[in-house]
């Protein structure tokens, strides 16, 4: 997988650096499509009006997502610049030639030889959102207000009209990704591990969130800065809130997980972000599940990220990475004596610090290990456990 990713990066860089945009003679009120592509290995979206360029990228690992919008043949120029120093590379689009030139002066490169990539004209807004936690794919451009608002709700910033277009695009048809059976023969009721032949949990790719108007204050919240370092073909860190009323009381959380392979739908070949949802009393034939969020903030081996898990006793959980919502699902945890179990597990090496626990919006006593506050710890093949 590492070799394949490297080949893809080299090929795409060469493609973007050598293929010029096909210019079109200006005609009044005429337009043509801008194609939208996604790189599952870097998290970047790329936009081009060059059909041939779209086809080349689609055969080099980029995922074609359809028509992003309709662009005019003339109007105010929109420039595209490329940052070769960002991990995976990154493109930025702006109507300001001064801004583009300033970035070029700082090491960015002109795309399309400094000529306009698109033109701003028309009556349809094109929105931009900024992800402060990303290097590659830090900006998203869309005419879809629902997509824009969803990104802002997940922690993206800025949220303004970037320029005008001649009309909306149309997404490419996508086939649903079949979930995988995992934890086969070892899944017990409500989150426990048990030898049950034929039992399993499901692993989803980007399972849609369960929408709800949740109160601002969760029943319990567990957060910390966590890093994961490993070198095997399968390693993980699970950051979990569990029920505390005996076996099968439920578990919810977020997982940093590396698994070798090349299936980008499940984030293989890199550390992916996965939501854990094992509701209390849930059965053993797929009622418990994991969901990989392929467009979650990227996490490097050894990188520290802020993990947050929230549980609302009206029956929902949320998971966040660096402030970005990566999972929201219906669930159920059963506390014992109004307490929950918090645990952090790794089968590799992890460092955990700045641990914080809140119940009903109030900070509770510091997490302790024995009688000492647990401020920071590096641990290998171990589980840290506390009850609150």
Residues 30-74 have pLDDT tens digits of 788 999 999 888 889 999 999 889 999 998 989 888 899 999 999
Confidence of residue 148 (pLDDT cuts 50, 70, 90): confident
Q: What is the pLDDT of residue 383?
A: 85
- Out of 9-13, 66-70, 130-134, 221-225, pick the least confident: 9-13
* Cβ(63)–Cβ(37) below 8 Å: yes
Q: What letters, b where the CB count within 10 A reaches 16 and e where it falls short, cover 65-80?
A: bebbbbbbbebebbbb
> In whole angstroms, what separates CA 264 from the centre of its chain?
12
Q: Is the per-residue pLDDT at 28 higher than 50?
A: no
**What does R_g of the chain's alpha carbons equal in angstroms?**
23
Confidence of residue 372 (pLDDT cuts 50, 70, 90): low
pTM for this predicted structure: 0.65
pLDDT top residue among 241 and 263: 241
Confidence of residue 325 (pLDDT cuts 50, 70, 90): confident
Q: What is the pLDDT of residue 145?
A: 86
Helix axis angle, 51-58 to 2-18, nearest 10°: 170
Q: What is the pLDDT of residue 12?
A: 37
The predicted model gives 122-148 an average pLDDT of 89
Per the prediction, the chain carries an average pLDDT of: 86
Torsion region of 286: left, alpha or beta (phi above 0 gives left; psi -120 to 50 gives alpha): left
Pairing verdict, β 220-229 and 200-205: unpaired
Alpha-carbon gap, residue 368 to 377, rounded angstroms? 11
Q: What is the pLDDT of residue 152?
A: 86
| DSSP-assigned letter for residue 5 | H
- Out of 150-154, 216-220, 285-289, pick the least confident: 150-154
> Helix %, strand %, coil % for the chain, to 5?
15, 45, 40
Alpha-carbon gap, residue 46 to 49, rounded angstroms? 10
Number of residues in the chain? 388
Q: Is the per-residue pLDDT at 334 higher than 60?
A: yes
Torsion region of 69: left, alpha or beta (phi above 0 gives left; psi -120 to 50 gives alpha): beta
Distance of CA 374 to CAs 355, 365, 379, 384, Å? 8, 11, 12, 10
The predicted model gives 203-210 an average pLDDT of 92
């Amino acid at each position: 997988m590492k070799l394949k990713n490297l080949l893809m990066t080299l090929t795409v860089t060469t493609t973007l650096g050598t293929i010029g945009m096909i210019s079109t003679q200006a005609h009044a009120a005429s337009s043509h499509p801008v194609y939208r592509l996604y790189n599952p290995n870097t998290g970047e979206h790329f936009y081009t009006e060059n059909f041939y360029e779209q086809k080349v990228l689609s055969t080099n690992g980029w995922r074609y997502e359809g028509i992003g919008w309709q662009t005019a043949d003339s109007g105010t120029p929109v420039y595209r610049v490329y940052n070769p120093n960002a991990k995976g590379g990154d493109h930025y689009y702006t109507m300001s030639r001064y801004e583009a030139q300033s970035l070029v002066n700082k090491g960015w490169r002109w795309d399309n030889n400094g000529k306009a990539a698109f033109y701003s004209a028309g009556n349809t807004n094109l929105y931009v959102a900024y992800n402060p936690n990303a290097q590659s794919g830090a900006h998203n451009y869309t005419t879809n207000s629902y997509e824009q608002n969803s990104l802002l709700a997940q922690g993206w910033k800025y949220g303004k009209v970037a320029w005008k277009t001649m009309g909306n695009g149309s997404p490419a048809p996508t086939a649903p990704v079949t979930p995988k059976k995992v934890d086969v023969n070892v899944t017990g009721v409500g989150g426990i591990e048990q030898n049950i032949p034929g039992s399993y949990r499901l692993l989803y790719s980007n399972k849609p969130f369960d929408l709800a108007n949740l109160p601002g204050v969760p029943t319990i919240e567990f957060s910390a800065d966590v890093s994961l370092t490993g070198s095997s073909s399968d390693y993980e860190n699970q950051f979990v809130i569990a029920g505390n009323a005996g076996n099968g009381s439920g578990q919810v959380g977020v997982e940093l997980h590396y698994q070798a392979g090349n299936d980008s739908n499940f984030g293989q070949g890199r550390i992916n972000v996965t939501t854990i949802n094992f509701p209390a009393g849930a059965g053993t034939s797929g009622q418990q599940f994991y969901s990989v969020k392929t467009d979650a903030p990227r996490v490097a081996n050894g990188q520290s990220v802020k993990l947050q898990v929230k549980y609302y006793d009206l029956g929902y959980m949320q998971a966040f990475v660096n402030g970005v919502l990566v999972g929201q699902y219906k669930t159920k945890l059963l506390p014992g004596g109004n307490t929950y179990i918090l645990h952090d597990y790794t089968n590799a090496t992890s460092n955990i610090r700045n641990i914080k626990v809140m119940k009903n919006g109030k900070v509770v006593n510091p997490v302790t290990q024995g009688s000492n506050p647990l401020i920071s710890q590096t641990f290998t093949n171990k589980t840290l456990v506390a009850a609150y």
